[in-house]
Copies of this chain bind each other. A is one copy, B any other.
Amino acid sequence: MRVSALLTSLGINSTLCVLFFTLYSVLRKQPGYYKVYIPRLLAQGSSRREGRFKLGRLIPSPGWLARAWRLSEEDILSSNGLDALVFMRAITFCLKVFAFAGVIGIFVLLPVNSMGTQLHEIDFTDIANNSLDVFTISNVNDGSERLWIHFAAVYTVTIFVCGLLFTEYKYISSKRIAFFHSSDPQPHQFTILVSNIPASSDISIGESVERFFRENHPATYLSHVVIRRTRKIRNLTNEAKNLYKRVTHSRAGSLQDKHTIFSEKVDLDRYEKRLEDIRQHVRLEQSDISMSKDTRAAFVSFRTRYGAAIALHLQQAVNPLHWITEEAPAPKDVYWPFFSSTFMQRWTSKLVIVVVCVLLTILFLIPVIIVQGLTNLSQLEAWFPFLKNILSKTFVSQIVTGYLPSLILQLFLKIVPPIMRFLSSIQGYISLSEIEKSACNKGIWFTVWNVFFATVFSGSVFYQLSIVLDPKSLPEKLGISVPAQASFFIAYVVTTGWTSVASELFRVIPFVGSLIAKCLGSTDDDEDVEAPSICFHRDFPRMLFFGLLGIAYFFLAPLILPFLLVYFCMVYFIFRNQFIHVYAPKYETGGRFWPMVHDTMIFSLVLMHAIAVGIFTLKKLSWASTLVFPLPAITLLFNEYCRKRFLPVFRAYPAEVLIRKDRADWNQGLMTRFYGNLVTAYEDPAMVPISYSRNPDSLDLPLLSPVSI
């Protein structure tokens, strides 16, 4: 790829970004789009629609940038919880790393690379016509002593990243403890989920749970809720919920418009009839289930957090597959459909999901290979000879090589997070947060494999497998292939990175949705607005992948760094803005996403080292490649140390903390009232008796209240 192609791509994307920013600045002030751009504020009721029109509304203003800048960590923590803070810390972590690496890269490595003559001499008269390869390490002459500069850079950046990782891990684990200390008593802190309760013929599961915990935890056991199979009721309730919405909307519409059309009236009657049917059905099912056999799982609550922790961490029964305990999720975080399954079911579904992920990875290679074809114009011309004429035009060829490949890849990658989330949701996790965390992990490895490795080692799956299964020659192959793809990844940062973050600000899909709704003439209802939650399983993998790209490429093609810095600056501002205006947290893991960030960074470092070994070997500087060897070993040892030093706190709260918190709550006298809530906190929402809607003007009809799940 030439510099000019990169500039074209840069031009297109900068324009797009500016366009998005401007549109956002204007649209966010239009009351009609409040639901799209400030749903959080609407849901909180802190922003009312202004009826009057002001001229200022049409002038784009950067005020939101300043507000995002001023947001403090405490604000994020109090309004969006620790997970959002961790997300922001991951962004600032990358910013710090790439600012540091950027200085080294641009002011030291880039001049060294372009002074080389291995590939081309740099053509200062026509910069735009230079190949981007001139700025990569490939251009440094073989065996040149200047490669020691790269060597030093690898060491420096590794040490910097490791140091930063350590302080961040320390900071976030201390925040986690502090956050726990400052939290009010919450049901999930006192509760565990017990599954695979051994069935007994003479007593029910409920009695069996009661007996077991009264026997073994007499001082701390409080209550339990046996879980029932309620999928049927849940489906009915969901149907009722949708119908209810339609009925109220129709009615509201007919009341407002006063154009009561006969057919609408008929519809309304039909809906209400159907609703009443469902209500009967649900009642029947509920009484049916209360009679029938329970599942073999229960939420068991304890009087103290420490009591719950003891029951959680000690193997309860002689057979380790009975009375399996795990942390209970917060009541609103519970993912009801799957957690009644047995150990074997969950284990099998886990295995099946692994296989499915592997298959998905293989299938996904097809678009990646097509994308690769685009960067290689001559191959494309060979495949589709009729394109020859079009492709020979400079502008077209620049778009095709510089822009199209990343765009196609991006479109395909868009569908990955929902798929991963779906796969995680059928894997047997019992909470939304676990599902998102698992989808996040899957997303990261999928992206690394399918974007990084598949692009670098384009070829058949078996070829790729053969490379990875042959660790001896891996560094050498990385050394050959990775620098060759530098220009693709620079373009990738500009297109996928910049555009995705700008479209995040602009919220393209909700915006389009709202436009369509407007066209269809549906009325908005501010009371109804629910603030969406951030999709960590979409944003974490994407951001971390750019981190990986930056670390892997910083010494090969330092030109990637400024673009990455711009990307992370945008991410920084935009997500802070979104945390203020758009997202509200749906669950709280207490910072459990951080270990994933840490692991990805460690992997990126080791990947960089492997590439460095390969490159130095290829460049005939074998001493340097030998001296790089200790680096991955030290990095992995460092990681091992961090796992021992910090990870346990993310797995469970230490006894000291639990006991202190328990005592503090007792001393404040919060507990007796809390126990009352605790006992009913984990009732299955499907089993809550259906109630008449409290909406006074629907008293004439027994309506179902929408049960929030």
Contacts and interface: CB of A to CB of B under 8 A. Distances in A.
A313 B654 CA distance: 10
A351 interface: yes
Given A316-B654, A470-B470, A654-B320, A351 B637 contact: yes
Contacts of A471: 469
A127 interface: no
B309 A655 contact: no
Given A313-B313, A314-B309, A469-B471, A320 B648 contact: yes
A119 interface: no
10 smallest beta-carbon distances between A and B, as pairs: A320-B648, A314-B655, A315-B654, A313-B313, A315-B648, A316-B655, A469-B472, A310-B310, A216-B659, A318-B654
Contact of A320 (B319, B351, B645): B645
Contacts of A646: 320
A316 B343 CA distance: 29
A315 B466 contact: no
A314 B655 CA distance: 6
Interface size classification for chain A? 35 or more
A240 to B, nearest CB: 41
A215 B657 CA distance: 12
B472 A316 contact: no
Contact of A314 (B216, B310, B647): B310
A656 interface: yes
Contacts of A315: 648-649, 652, 654-655
A177 interface: yes
A52 interface: no
Nearest to A312: B314
A477 to B, nearest CB: 14
A385 B463 CA distance: 49
A645 B321 contact: yes
Nearest to A659: B216
A649 B316 contact: no
Contact of A656 (B316, B645, B652, B655): B316
A56 to B, nearest CB: 51
Interface string A292-321: 000000000000000001110111111111
12 contacts: A311-B655, A313-B313, A315-B648, A315-B652, A316-B655, A320-B646, A320-B648, A320-B654, A347-B641, A466-B472, A469-B470, A470-B472
Copies in the complex: 2
B313 A314 contact: yes
A320 B649 CA distance: 7
A644 interface: yes
Interface in A313-346: 313-321, 343
A319 B320 CA distance: 29
Contacts of A657: 318
Nearest to A323: B656
Interface string A560-572: 0000000000000
Interface in A631-682: 637, 641, 644-649, 652, 654-657, 659
Given A310-B310, A469-B471, A470-B470, A655 B216 contact: yes
Nearest to A319: B645
A326 to B, nearest CB: 14
A641 B644 CA distance: 26
A423 B648 CA distance: 29
Contacts of A215: 659
Interface in A566-596: none
A393 to B, nearest CB: 46
A319 B641 CA distance: 13
A362 to B, nearest CB: 17
A317 B469 contact: no
Interface in A345-359: 347, 351
Nearest to A470: B470
